[in-house]
Amino acid sequence: MTRRLLTALLALAVVAVAAPRLHGTSAAFTDSHTTSIAISTGSVAIEHDGDGLTFTSAPLAPGDKAEATVRVTSSGSLAARLALTREQLTSTAPAGCAIRDALRLRVDEEAGGEHRTVADGPLGEVADALELGRFASGETRTYALTITFAPQHGATATDNDNCLQGSVDTERFAWQAVEARS
């Protein structure tokens, strides 16, 4: 009985050792093919030259102007629609009137030799976001902004703009770009 059991176990051991070798002989023809896909994201970005919009803004008298010119480039890899936005930060009226109510804003654009006026009107009535249109990737345009202190009254002792003296208005301009899909 014991002999038979040992014989059986020995047989099983032989099979166990031989089986992997038998499997290793099951070779087959194979081939493979790879395709590389490089995925990159586009970008939308804006750059402007120098220090950006820097106004020639000494204290203003009625009729005076403050001007700034800046070149804006759509520097991303995608076409983009640009807008010039404006946010009022502060406004003071120490003598009773706010100079903001007397300021006019004009925005002129030069693009590829073409000129157009984007906006021209009282600062408080010009849209807070001016659409500048579609920029191709790398396209540059020049914008000239003019702030004019428009006289509201006369120059006599009884009819003048004295209530605007010392008033301060602070605005923040910004350039916004959104990917152009069309």
Partner 1 sequence: MSRVRLALAGAALVAALALSGLSGAAMTGGEREAPSVFTGGTLELSAGEAGAARLDAANMRPGQTRTATFALRNAGSVAAALSASARDRADVPAEAALSAVLELRLEDCGTDATCAAPRTAYSGSLRDFAGAALGDAAAGATRFVRVSLVWGPTKADPSRQGATASATLVWQAVAGSAA
Site residues for partner 1, window 55-114 (CB under 8 A)? 55, 57-64, 66, 68, 72, 76, 78, 80, 89, 99-100, 102-103
Letters for 41-60 (x = contact with partner 1 by CB under 8 A, - = none) are xxxxxxxx--xxxxx-xxxx
- Exposure b/e, 124-159, CB count within 10 A at least 16 = b: eebeeebebeebebebbbebbbbbbbeeeeeeeeee
Q: What phi, psi does 103 have (nearest 5°)? A: -95, 140
| 128 touching partner 1, by CB under 8 A | no
Letters for 7-26 (x = contact with partner 1 by CB under 8 A, - = none) are --------------------
Question: Would you say 13 or 47 has its CB closer to partner 1?
Answer: 47
108: enclosing H helix or E strand: strand 103-111
Letters for 159-178 (x = contact with partner 1 by CB under 8 A, - = none) are --xx-xxxxxxxxxxxxxxx
CA–CA gap between residue 100 and residue 85 (Å, rounded)? 17
Neighbours of 175 (CB within 10 A): 18
- Interface with partner 1 (CB under 8 A): 41-48, 51-55, 57-64, 66, 68, 72, 76, 78, 80, 89, 99-100, 102-103, 147, 149-155, 157, 161-162, 164-179, 181
